[in-house]
Amino acid sequence: MHYAAENGSLNVILTLISRGAGTDSLDQFHRTPLMIAIENNKSAVARSLIELGADIEVKDIYGKTSLMYACKIASTEIVELLIKCKADISVVNEIGDSAITMAKKSANQDIIMMLI
């Protein structure tokens, strides 16, 4: 599932899910397929995983959420979708960074405005 998310293979993901795979399986860093899709800017896959019920609040081993991944890569589309899905913008990772901190680092003013 993670490999398919990384490569944007939505058909593979849909097939795996139809055969019983969960949307929230974890890799060695506790990243979900949703996080992998976001990290690799595969917005169609990310959107589909969210629509299929992926948990948007899962944290990886560093405490980062899907919203933080989207802020880090400055994906306005995914940040907007996650906010509409009620993503928790107040979560901080293990070094104290929040989604807004990551948005500020990416210097995307649109995302910063969505978060404040």
- Whether 39 contacts 8, CB under 8 Å: no
* Torsion angle of C-alpha atoms 67, 72, 75, 77, degrees rounded to 10: 20
For the domain covering 2-115, report its CATH number.
Answer: 1.25.40.20
Residue 96 DSSP label: S
Domain boundaries, the chain: 2-115
Q: Which pLDDT value is given to residue 60?
A: 98
Angle at 2 between CA 21 and CA 94, to 5 degrees: 110
Q: What is the pLDDT of residue 14?
A: 96
- CA 34 from chain center: how many Å? 5
β-partners of residue 92 are 98
d(CA 65, CA 109): 20
Q: How confident is the model at residue 26 (pLDDT cuts 50, 70, 90)?
A: very high
The token pair that represents 72 in the structure block = 């880090």
CB 36 within 8 A of CB 5: yes
pTM score: 0.95
What are the pLDDT digits (tens) for 39-98? 999 999 999 999 999 999 999 999 999 999 999 999 999 999 999 999 999 999 999 999
